[in-house]
Amino acid sequence: MEIERNIGNFAYPETHTHDAGVGLTEKTIHFISDIKDDPDWVREFRLKAYKTFMSKPMPTHWASKDLEAIVFENIRYYLSGGTQPKRNWEDVPDDVKRTFERLGIPEQERKFLAGVEAQFDSEAVYSNIKKAVGEQGVIFVGSAEGLKNHPEIFRKWFGKVIPIGDNKFSALNSAVFSGGSFIYVPPGVKVKHPLQAYFRINAENFGQFERTLIICDEGSELTYMEGCTAPKFNTATLHSAVVELVALKGAKLQYITVQNWSSNVFNLVTKRGLAHEDAEVKWIDCNIGSRLTMKYPGVIMKGRRARGEVLSIALAGDGQHQDTGAKMIHAADETTSNIISKSISIGQGRATYRGLVQIPKHLKNCKNNTECDALLINSTSRTDTYPAITVRGTGNSVQHEASVSQVSAEQIFYMQQRGLTEAQAMSLSVNGFVNDLVRQFPMEYSVELKRLIELEMEGSVG
């Protein structure tokens, strides 16, 4: 297989017909609402969120000063060639189609996916679900279509898991959101193959603000996967998504992210799931690339015996900061959460784990397990762990383990002596480090992840 070193690093000229221009004012909100023909309640939601965004200061408890480099006045908040996604790749404009073909999306769809949505800058250009899956009553559409055609489900949960004012960037997303997926799985339906969304940024000075809402009704099961890339520009690009998951009684919902952003992207994403009685929400989160990622997927375990899980891998190369972690809010008896976080810092790369686990006093028989492992490749890299675990009451248990290890020069020499190049040796070490975690991923994604790690290591060796 031919491997390109910067697989996502290409861009076609812009041909957008809808452009909200540079900067953010109330006018921008109306422009977006007009184009999207929003119902009144959505327009009001956006305007309220805009005010919240403007009034909220930049987060200061989030360690990085790099956020100050984001100039909101210089960003373009909406760019699209139309608001209707196509059902057929043939109907997608050539440039856009070529982009996704280079990223291998149509091929993957044929091979192993139950449905695909492909977003190009602000809007989905393609959205399709396999007939058999649609016939089971599964809804898989863009967020705009979801709020218009399925308001009875959409409105009930939209903005409920992550309120507008959760943080400054969730407010920003709520003001200007566009694109993203809406999925509903009816009671008892087990979707065998994953649904996938692919988010592609093509334009410079642009902000992508997709909004995803997934509802798994009682006893249903779903795996959703998202991939992300952008070309490398000299200026900063902003990706600020909001993802809300709802798993009703006994449902199982697995959300997998493999991002491979270029090193100019600020990736500030809010992701949270709500798990009802006996339900399970699992986040598998692989963060590769970007300039700064701040992302802490969370699960609120609202019903008895609900389970929450976050498995995350972060790879911080030169000039990158991966500030990732997990939030586990126990809100019922006998709830269980598990966090396994592995980070790799290379060169000047910096990885931070930030965790929050809460088990209040009145609950019984709740369990949390947290494991954070960091791998350092060469001496200048840095890793930090900030676990905040609050467990009250006597009937609950918590377990926390953390480790830091290093790829030693002797280890690399040993592997080189067996004929592997320095880059191959490093990528094998890194793959070994994440191996026990990757084994829990679906096959297709573990292959993809392994390939991305190889590409990243090739790039980091002289």
Partner 1 sequence: MFLSPQMNQLSIHNLRVSIAEQEIIRGLSLDVPKGEIHAIMGPNGSGKSTLAKVLAGHPDYKVTTGEVQMDGENVLELAPDERARKGLFLAFQYPSEIPGVSIANFLRAAVQARLPEGEELEATDYYAKLYEKMDLLEMDRSFTSRSVNEGFSGGEKKRNEILQLAMLDPKYAVLDETDSGLDIDALKVVANGVNSLRSPNLGVLLITHYQRLLDYIIPDHVHVMVQGRIVRSGGKELALELEEKGYESYETVKDEVAEPALA
3-state secondary structure of 211: strand
Token pair 């991002």: residue: 259
Alpha-carbon span 431 to 438, nearest angstrom: 9
Q: Is 415 in the site for partner 1 (CB under 8 A)?
A: yes
Contact 268, 239 (CB under 8 A): yes
Q: How far is the CB of 406 from partner 1 (least distance, A)?
A: 11
Which one of residues 55, 380, 435, 440 is an interface residue with partner 1 (CB under 8 A)?
A: 435
Q: Identify which of residues 395 and 432 has a Cβ nearer to partner 1 in the complex.
A: 432
Which one of residues 132, 408, 440, 447 is an interface residue with partner 1 (CB under 8 A)?
A: 408
One DSSP character per residue, 250-308 reads T-EEEEEEEEEE-TTEEEEEEEEEEE-TT-EEEEEEEEEE-SEEEE--EEEE-STT-EE
- Strand partners for 182: 141, 213
Q: Is 426 in the site for partner 1 (CB under 8 A)?
A: no
Which one of residues 73, 94, 417, 443 is an interface residue with partner 1 (CB under 8 A)?
A: 417
Q: How far is the CB of 425 from partner 1 (least distance, A)?
A: 8
Token pair 């270029």: residue: 262
Q: How far is the CB of 370 from partner 1 (least distance, A)?
A: 20
Q: Is 413 in the site for partner 1 (CB under 8 A)?
A: yes
Q: Identify which of residues 143 and 446 has a Cβ nearer to partner 1 in the complex.
A: 446
- Only one of the segments 16-24, 44-52, 53-61, 428-436 lies at the binding site for partner 1 (rule: CB under 8 A); that segment is 428-436
Q: Is 65 in the site for partner 1 (CB under 8 A)?
A: no
Contact 174, 96 (CB under 8 A): no
Q: Is 94 in the site for partner 1 (CB under 8 A)?
A: no
Q: How far is the CB of 456 from partner 1 (least distance, A)?
A: 17
Alpha-carbon span 228 to 226, nearest angstrom: 7
Of 9-48, binders to partner 1 (CB under 8 A) are none
Q: Is 458 in the site for partner 1 (CB under 8 A)?
A: no
Which one of residues 433, 445, 449, 453 is an interface residue with partner 1 (CB under 8 A)?
A: 433
Q: Is 3 in the site for partner 1 (CB under 8 A)?
A: no
Q: Is 405 in the site for partner 1 (CB under 8 A)?
A: yes
Q: How far is the CB of 412 from partner 1 (least distance, A)?
A: 9
Contact 88, 70 (CB under 8 A): no
3-state secondary structure of 337: strand
Q: Is 422 in the site for partner 1 (CB under 8 A)?
A: yes
Q: How far is the CB of 326 from partner 1 (least distance, A)?
A: 22
In 106-187 the beta strands, taken as DSSP E runs, fall at: 115-120, 123-129, 139-142, 181-185
Q: How far is the CB of 296 from partner 1 (least distance, A)?
A: 26
Q: Is 397 in the site for partner 1 (CB under 8 A)?
A: no
- Only one of the segments 214-222, 258-266, 328-336, 407-415 lies at the binding site for partner 1 (rule: CB under 8 A); that segment is 407-415
Q: Which of 67, 6, 104, 82 is nearest to 291 (CA)?
A: 67
* Tokens linked to 78: 């909406």
- How many angstroms separate the Cα of 203 from the Cα of each of 19, 111, 146? 11, 29, 26
Alpha-carbon span 195 to 130, nearest angstrom: 10
Q: How far is the CB of 460 from partner 1 (least distance, A)?
A: 17
Over the window 298 to 317, marking each residue x when it contacts partner 1 by CB under 8 A and - when it does not, the resulting string is: --------------------
Q: Is 60 in the site for partner 1 (CB under 8 A)?
A: no
Q: Is 416 in the site for partner 1 (CB under 8 A)?
A: yes
Alpha-carbon span 330 to 386, nearest angstrom: 19
Torsion of Cα atoms, 457 then 202 then 258 then 455, to 10°: -20
Which helix H or strand E contains 403, and what residues bound it? strand 397-406
Q: Is 235 in the site for partner 1 (CB under 8 A)?
A: no
DSSP 89: G
Q: Which amino acid is at 129?
A: I
Q: Is 424 in the site for partner 1 (CB under 8 A)?
A: yes
Q: How far is the CB of 405 from partner 1 (least distance, A)?
A: 8
- How many angstroms separate the Cα of 373 from the Cα of each of 170, 310, 408? 29, 14, 16
Q: Which of 212, 46, 201, 181 is nearest to 116 (CA)?
A: 181
Contact 273, 309 (CB under 8 A): no
Q: Is 256 in the site for partner 1 (CB under 8 A)?
A: no
Q: Identify which of residues 109 and 454 has a Cβ nearer to partner 1 in the complex.
A: 454
- Residues found in the chain: 462
Number of residues located near partner 1, criterion CB under 8 A: 25
Q: Identify which of residues 246 and 453 has a Cβ nearer to partner 1 in the complex.
A: 453
Q: Is 380 in the site for partner 1 (CB under 8 A)?
A: no
Q: Is 414 in the site for partner 1 (CB under 8 A)?
A: yes
Which one of residues 61, 94, 410, 462 is an interface residue with partner 1 (CB under 8 A)?
A: 410
Residues near partner 1, by CB under 8 A: 405, 408-411, 413-422, 424-425, 428-429, 431-436
